[in-house]
Amino acid sequence: MVIAIIAVLVALLLPAVQQAREAARMSQCKNNLKQIGLALHNYHETFRVLPPSYLYLPGGGGLQGPPDPVNGDAGPGWAWGMLILPQIDQTPLYNSFNVNVPCWDPKNAIPVQTALPVYTCPSSTNPGPTYNVVNSSGTTLALFSRGNYVVSAGNFGIWNDPSPDLTKIANGVFYRNSRTRFAEITDGLSQTVFAGEKTPYHSDSTWVGVVPGATTCPTPRFAAAGCDLGPAQVNVHSGPGGPNEVPPLIFPPGCFQFTDEMNSMHNSGGNVLFGDGSVKFISKFLNGPTWAALNTRAGQDQVGDY
């Protein structure tokens, strides 16, 4: 009888303990995004622009390598997460990089593997602090530290576009070589998505950079989603992918969610950073067109409450 009573009590208490732990993880995840938001504002204060999703030298050449035949990517590849290191109190780490060579160069092999708690959501199922960046043949191109947060390029997946200037193609805030100013975000900072979660339960992501020729594939359980190019490891979009498609919003990760979309391991949605520095929990049941509107920088859309 005593054993039976204890078993019942354990069964009653265990869900409550798990919920309390997830609440603590959720709080830390939100706090990380708030720190990232503050860093982005400080970066803008210093340089008068926001950092790009990642950097590349059009045409490549020399140390930057030949341009990728698909999208034209070349070195140096440094991503937004590396560029704001001084703004998140990581100046020594930033100074340890050799920025005169690409992010995948052996001279940067040690710092690019540094695990940073501010870029790690406790709810994500990180199998390890680093992962292999590979090409479509499975050849390892680099070993990068994981990051569980990515920035939004807007509605469209632009990873295949070789255009040297994506300003008039990407309608979000962050994209390759972007230099977005707050004044250009006419939808309003509080109505514009800057960043959100991405978990390796679905596909890999990093704060370090983009390697030309890299591919981003989902884990085996989500194989139906297919693969995307390397930029999806730092930069995502909201959809829709075409004029007749409904914008995807699948939190937590679903089998039909692509690798270039946000996803989360929280129960019913994910944390999202807005341009004003606020962090909000976006439900997976949010209206798709509303999600699309929130990801544009100058869509002249007023979405109201959500």
pLDDT tens digits along 114-168:
999 999 999 998 999 999 999 999 999 999 999 999 999 999 999 999 999 999 9
Token pair in block for residue 277: 């520095």
Neighbouring CB atoms inside 10 A of 94's CB total 16
- Give the percent of the chain with pLDDT over 70: 88
Per the DSSP assignment, residues forming a β-bridge with 145 are: 130
Tell me the whole-structure pTM to 2 decimals. 0.91
Residue with the larger pLDDT of the pair 300 and 164: 164
Res 85 pLDDT > 50: yes
Q: What is the 3-state secondary structure (H, E, C) of 15-58?
A: HHHHHHHHHHHHHHHHHHHHHHHHHHHHHHHHHCCCCCCEEECC
| Biggest CA pair distance of the chain | 77
